[in-house]
């Protein structure tokens, strides 16, 4: 290749490179000279706000009642409406026992050698303020708070034993060793003995007493310390034992003629949605019973029975009822039983229960051992199995319905859905064999919007007219109304034309949603 050709080729290549650079600069200039615009598009929206099922459990509410589904549903109320809390049998009064040992001389000092016994006594600790005659107890909990003080110039030891008090099979014993006291000073030791689960024999030192704990107290100088105590006539040794907060688990003895309170108020139905009406009830069982787990006879005097304040009559009301003592001989309780058949009441209690009342109340009292100590001091009580008053109701859900009403309120916070256009959709699905008449009110908490009202009837799920048991309504709404907090108040009632059979699986479904479009903008 000659020089001329080489030069030409070089120039040609250089020119091509310049062209590429020029094109790239043009593209970049064009890119940076353009302004980016926001992107907006419409989006379909379907947002559920409420999906609520109303069934028989909502009608019964928070109570002991249950619904058993079947070809004919059954409502049952089977539970304890009252347990006797007999405080006189379950809590012993606090008892303080104090012993003060002082010399029977004045002046001093007198020397007391090691191993000397200053006091050795056996005595009963007597529980005061107990009207019953207890022979033994087992404690659920309790304690002894003790304090030992000595002003003696020498070592003092104390041994306080309670042979009739055992915990885990071991008798309770307290040993305290106090060092010498300085002039005018006291040596003191305090502490607590836990009596949880303690078994206590209350027959005292002789074994024939009541309400007494046997104890043995020995105070002296320790034999294993070679130190002679210097005792003055002004010295003293003070021992105090405070039995506190003794809660009884089991007790035996003679309980006396203790009065018992039988005033009872039991919530039967506690529904947040049921507003009123009548559910015809044809009972198959209605029994009020009392299980006496006390090994002591009881006389029961029931004065009144009321359902939401309406008195119910019964042949057994106002007449003393005697309930035999429980049998604990096998170690397992065989309670004495008493029953009142409420189907014999008048007005019939089920006519009142058909209105799903809130309370059943009873007034009365009882008396322990109405015939006195017929067992020779062999009464027994276990606080873990107290006497119980039970109510057992059973009725099939088969009958007429009159003005049976429910009501619910739903609160909505404001929803931020920009440029929304669409509807508030309400949908009712009836799974009951009876049609429901309903009212709906949608109210914004501010006064900027007019409340919306809806009413109508949703047919039963097997309506023979062919009408659908699902009904839907739409209320046009805007984003401004959605952003304002609101309430939806729903109420409904049903009446039947004659008897209706319910299976317990019936549902009334309320659905609330917003459906429509709104604009989404991306910067």
Reported as a single tens digit per residue, the pLDDT across 470-507 is 999 999 998 889 899 999 999 999 999 889 999 999 99
Across 204-221, average pLDDT: 94
Q: How many CA atoms lie within 13 A of 366 on its CB side?
A: 28
Helix (H) or strand (E) holding 476: strand 470-478
Higher pLDDT among residues 5 and 191, named by residue: 191
% of the chain with per-residue pLDDT over 70: 91
Burial profile 439-459: b = 16 or more Cβ within 10 angstroms, e = fewer: ebebbbeeeebeebeeeeebb
Decide: 84 and 382 in contact? Cβ < 8 Å.
no
Sheet with 388-396, strands from edge to edge, namely 65-68, 74-83, 388-396, 285-292, 336-341
What residues pair up with 285 in beta bridges, in sequence order?
Answer: 394
Three-state DSSP state, 15: helix
- Confidence at residue 5, expressed as pLDDT on a 0 to 100 scale: 33
12-26, 58-72, 283-297, 493-507: range with lowest mean pLDDT: 12-26
Across 180-186, average pLDDT: 84
Its pTM stands at 0.75
Decide: 466 and 389 in contact? Cβ < 8 Å.
no
So what CATH class is 44-62+401-522?
Answer: mainly beta
- Confidence at residue 38, expressed as pLDDT on a 0 to 100 scale: 66
> In this model, does residue 6 exceed pLDDT 90?
no
pLDDT digits (tens, 9 = 90+) for 387-407: 999 989 888 999 899 999 999
> In this model, does residue 354 exceed pLDDT 70?
yes
Residues 6+ apart with CB under 8 A from 495: 401, 402, 403, 404, 434
Residues 6+ apart with CB under 8 A from 223: 114, 115
Query: Quick one: pLDDT band at residue 522, thresholds 50, 70, 90?
Result: low
- Confidence at residue 523, expressed as pLDDT on a 0 to 100 scale: 65
Is the N-terminal amide bond of 255 cis, ω within 30° of 0? no
Query: What does the DSSP 8-state code read for residue 16?
Result: H
The pair of structure tokens assigned to 31 is 């890119």
Supply angle C-alpha 95, 101, 107, rounded to 5.
Answer: 150
Query: What does the DSSP 8-state code read for residue 370?
Result: T
> In this model, does residue 19 exceed pLDDT 80?
no
Rounded Cα distance, 518 and 523, in Å:
16
The pair of structure tokens assigned to 151 is 């002003």
> In this model, does residue 270 exceed pLDDT 50?
yes
What separation in angstroms does the CA of 277 have from each of 286, 354, 400? 22, 8, 11
Higher pLDDT among residues 299 and 394, named by residue: 299
Decide: 49 and 514 in contact? Cβ < 8 Å.
yes
- Confidence at residue 31, expressed as pLDDT on a 0 to 100 scale: 42
Burial profile 281-301: b = 16 or more Cβ within 10 angstroms, e = fewer: bebeebebebbbbbbbbbbbb
Decide: 443 and 451 in contact? Cβ < 8 Å.
yes
Higher pLDDT among residues 275 and 429, named by residue: 429
Query: What does the DSSP 8-state code read for residue 313?
Result: B
Across 421-432, average pLDDT: 94
Q: What is the mean pLDDT of the chain?
A: 86
So what CATH class is 88-254?
Answer: mainly beta
- Scan for tokens 């059954």, then name that residue: 74
What residues pair up with 341 in beta bridges, in sequence order?
Answer: 287
Q: Is 166 exposed, middle or buried (0-12, 13-18, 19+ CB in 10 A)?
A: middle
pLDDT digits (tens, 9 = 90+) for 55-84: 998 888 777 788 999 999 998 888 888 888
- Confidence at residue 283, expressed as pLDDT on a 0 to 100 scale: 80
């Amino acid at each position: 290749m000659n020089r001329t050709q080489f030069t030409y080729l070089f120039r040609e290549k250089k020119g091509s490179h310049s062209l590429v650079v020029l094109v790239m600069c043009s593209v970049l200039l064009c890119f940076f000279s353009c302004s980016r615009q926001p992107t907006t598009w419409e989006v379909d929206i379907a947002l559920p706000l409420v999906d609520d099922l109303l069934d028989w459990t909502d009608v019964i509410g928070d109570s002991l009642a249950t619904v058993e589904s079947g070809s004919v549903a059954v409502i049952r109320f089977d539970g304890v409406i009252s347990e006797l809390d007999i405080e006189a049998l379950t809590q012993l009064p606090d008892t303080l026992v104090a012993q003060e040992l002082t010399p029977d001389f004045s002046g001093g000092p007198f020397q007391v050698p090691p191993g000397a016994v200053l006091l050795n006594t056996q005595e009963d600790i007597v529980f005061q303020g107990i009207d019953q005659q207890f022979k033994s107890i087992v404690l659920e909990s309790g304690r002894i708070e003790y304090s030992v003080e000595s002003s003696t110039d020498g070592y003092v030891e104390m041994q306080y034993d309670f042979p009739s008090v055992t915990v885990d099979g071991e008798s309770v014993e307290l040993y305290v060793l106090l060092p010498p006291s300085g002039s005018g000073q006291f040596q003191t030791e305090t502490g607590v003995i836990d009596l949880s689960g303690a078994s206590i024999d209350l027959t005292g030192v002789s074994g024939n007493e009541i309400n007494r704990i046997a104890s043995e107290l020995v105070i002296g100088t320790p034999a294993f310390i070679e130190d002679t105590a210097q005792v003055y006539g002004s010295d003293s040794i003070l021992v105090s034992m405070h039995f506190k907060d003794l809660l009884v688990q089991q007790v035996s003895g003679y309980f006396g003629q203790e009065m018992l309170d039988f005033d009872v108020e039991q919530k039967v139905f506690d529904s947040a949605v049921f507003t009123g009406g009548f559910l015809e009830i044809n009972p198959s069982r209605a029994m009020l019973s009392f299980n006496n787990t006390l090994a002591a006879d009881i006389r029961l005097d029931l004065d009144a029975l009321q359902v939401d304040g309406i008195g119910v009559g019964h042949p057994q009301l106002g007449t003393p009822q005697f309930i035999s003592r429980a049998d604990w001989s096998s170690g397992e309780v065989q309670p004495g039983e008493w029953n009142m058949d409420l189907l014999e009441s008048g007005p019939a209690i089920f006519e009142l229960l058909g209105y799903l009342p809130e309370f059943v109340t009873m007034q009365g009292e009882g008396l322990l051992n109405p015939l006195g100590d017929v067992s020779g001091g062999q009464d027994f009580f276990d606080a873990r199995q107290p006497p119980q008053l039970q109510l057992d109701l059973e009725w099939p859900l088969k009958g007429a319905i009159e003005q049976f009403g429910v009501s619910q309120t739903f609160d909505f916070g404001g929803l931020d859905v920009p440029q929304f256009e669409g509807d508030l959709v309400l949908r009712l699905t009836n799974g009951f064999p009876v049609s429901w008449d309903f009212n709906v009110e949608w109210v914004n908490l501010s006064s900027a919007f007019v409340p919306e009202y809806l009413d109508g009837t949703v047919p039963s799920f097997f309506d023979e007219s062919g009408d659908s048991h699902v009904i839907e309504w739409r209320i046009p709404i805007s984003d401004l109304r959605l952003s304002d907090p609101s309430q939806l108040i729903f109420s409904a009632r049903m009446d039947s034309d004659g008897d209706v059979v319910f299976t317990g699986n019936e549902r009334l479904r309320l659905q609330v949603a917003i459906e429509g479009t709104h604009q989404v903008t991306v910067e």
